[in-house]
Structure 1
Amino acid sequence: MVSMFFGTTIGFLLAIMRMSTSKIISMIARTYISFMRGTPTLVFLFVLYFGFPFIGIQFKAVNAAIIGFSLSSAAYSAEIIRSSLHSIDHGQWKAANALGLKWSFIMKKVIIPQAMRLAIPPMSNVLLDLIKGTSLAAMITVPEIFQQAKIVWGREFDYMTMYILVALIYWVICSVFTIFQNYLEKKTSLHID
């Protein structure tokens, strides 16, 4: 959840940068998004946890995981947010501008509320992917579900039961978030009769 919060926050900033009229700012955002989407998250976890100590920066495993997952999910979130913002009818921008409203007010009160409704399903997919991706954190010694199961495997030598149990735990967690996503979609849907 922490990585999703930071990833969404960074993603929003990247989306705004990507939509910027400044070619340099837009190019920086596009390059970051392309690079992060085209590189495995595990690589970033390894660089943060094993590589950064070589330049004198050391992260705890949990912090490296949070940073890695946040930076990775930010790229996906940025494209979802950008496409959601772009999908709002341009006439609404023009109407709000004609009323003399400031850009920040237009975004906060007109555009973002509508874009959020459109972004719920794909952002939920990013969250579910993050939840399942936490198993990668075991590779840098973060004691998450998969890592705990590996410890039990070493004691009990009952690999199949543990694999099934881990799968069920992830499925239950993801199911809870899916139910919440469905609730949010219904709450924010347009009711046209």
Structure 2
Amino acid sequence: MDLDFSVALTYLPVMLKATLLTITLALVTQTLGTSIGFVFALGRTSRSRILRFVVWAYVWLFRGTPVLLHLFFVYYAAPLFGVTLDAIPAAIIAMTLSSAAYNTEILRAGIQAVHPGQVEAAEAVGMRYSRIVRHVIAPQAVRIVIPPYMSNFISHTKNTSLASVITVPELMLTSQMVYSSTYRAIEILTVAGLIYLLLTSCLTGLQLWLERRTSYEARGMSRRRRAIFLGKAPASAPREA
């Protein structure tokens, strides 16, 4: 069979429209999963054994089972308990729960990489825990977790294709519908693969930018701190904008 990509080009606007839903699904679920994961990561590092166990059990359950099962249970099993959801909300809930489990462990690693002495020093000067998290823990943890976090984000973006099994009209389901009517599976799936590759390449570029942006070795000391270090400016000099 000869390849004919003109068919794929004809349906490209339809596939690009479905790509917007793929992007939205990935961004929404990863954002929610990151927010929940950060709270759970703090729970995993808390002094409460009960809280640590509850969060550990959640992570154990959702990391140990496929995303496909989460989608099926939320969409098909929830109605048995009186909860009926449309396909898109069900996909958002299921993929957020999965994303939160992975992000919990990634963010926990970053939090625990911060030296305990810095937290103790902040407590010694009377800082509240919320300020310690914001000003001491989070800035240092972010730099550490960028590579694993972005790798997980890339995998999560590709996993949005699984939402097609519960009839979410994202890129993969739309591609299946197109090649079912045109009988040009190779051409359509090739274009779909290139679109996924473009999305993940953008995320890879974002990862490299974030790594350079947060790398101390790359950005070095600010001019104010360099002047203080060299004894050319008082420590109380006004902060640069």
The sequence identity of aligned pairs, in percent, is 38
* 1:33-112 matched pairs, under 5 angstroms: 33-112=59-138
For residues 69-106 of structure 1, give each alpha carbon's deviation from its aligned partner in whole angstroms, at most 9, with x where no partner exists. Answer: 10001011000111100001122112212222221111
Kindly indicate whether structure 1 or structure 2 has the higher relative contact order, using CA contacts under 8 Å at least 6 residues apart: 2
Query: In the alignment, which residue of structure 2 is the partner of 1:180?
Result: 206
For residues 108-164 of structure 1, give each alpha carbon's deviation from its aligned partner in whole angstroms, at most 9, with x where no partner exists. Answer: 111111101111111111211111001100000000000010011111101111221
Gaps of 5+ in 1: none
Kindly indicate whether residue 187 of structure 2 is the aligned counterpart of residue 127 of structure 1.
no
Instruction: Report the Cα distance in structure 2 between the residues aligned to 1:79 and 1:147, rounded to whole angstroms.
Output: 31
The one of 24, 31, 36 equivalent to 1:5 is: 31
Report the secondary structure of 1:54's partner residue: helix
Instruction: Report the Cα distance in structure 2 between the residues aligned to 1:167 and 1:122, rounded to whole angstroms.
Output: 23
Kindly indicate whether residue 182 of structure 2 is the aligned counterpart of residue 169 of structure 1.
no
C-alpha root-mean-square deviation of aligned residues, in Å?
1.1
User: Residue type of the partner of 1:110?
Assistant: V
Report the secondary structure of 2:154's partner residue: helix
Instruction: Report the Cα distance in structure 1 between the residues aligned to 2:43 and 2:124, rounded to whole angstroms.
Output: 24
Instruction: Report the Cα distance in structure 2 between the residues aligned to 1:100 and 1:50, rounded to whole angstroms.
Output: 51
The higher radius of gyration belongs to 2
TM-score by length of 2: 0.78
Instruction: Report the Cα distance in structure 2 between the residues aligned to 1:97 and 1:21, rounded to whole angstroms.
Output: 15
Instruction: Report the Cα distance in structure 2 between the residues aligned to 1:181 and 1:154, rounded to whole angstroms.
Output: 36
User: Residue type of the partner of 1:85?
Assistant: I
User: Residue type of the partner of 1:26?
Assistant: R
Aligned residues: 193
Kindly indicate whether residue 161 of structure 2 is the aligned counterpart of residue 114 of structure 1.
no
Gaps of 5+ in 2: 1-26, 222-241
User: Residue type of the partner of 1:175?
Assistant: S
- TM superposition shift of 1:54: 1.7
Say whether the 8 Å CA contact 2:45–2:112 is kept in structure 1. no
Q: Which piece of structure 1 moves more, 7-16 or 96-105?
A: 96-105
**Displaced runs of 4 or more, over 2 A:** none
TM-score by length of 1: 0.96
User: Residue type of the partner of 2:112?
Assistant: H
Report the secondary structure of 1:29's partner residue: helix
The one of 25, 43, 53 equivalent to 1:27 is: 53
Query: In the alignment, which residue of structure 1 is the partner of 2:237?
Result: none
Say whether the 8 Å CA contact 2:122–2:132 is kept in structure 1. yes
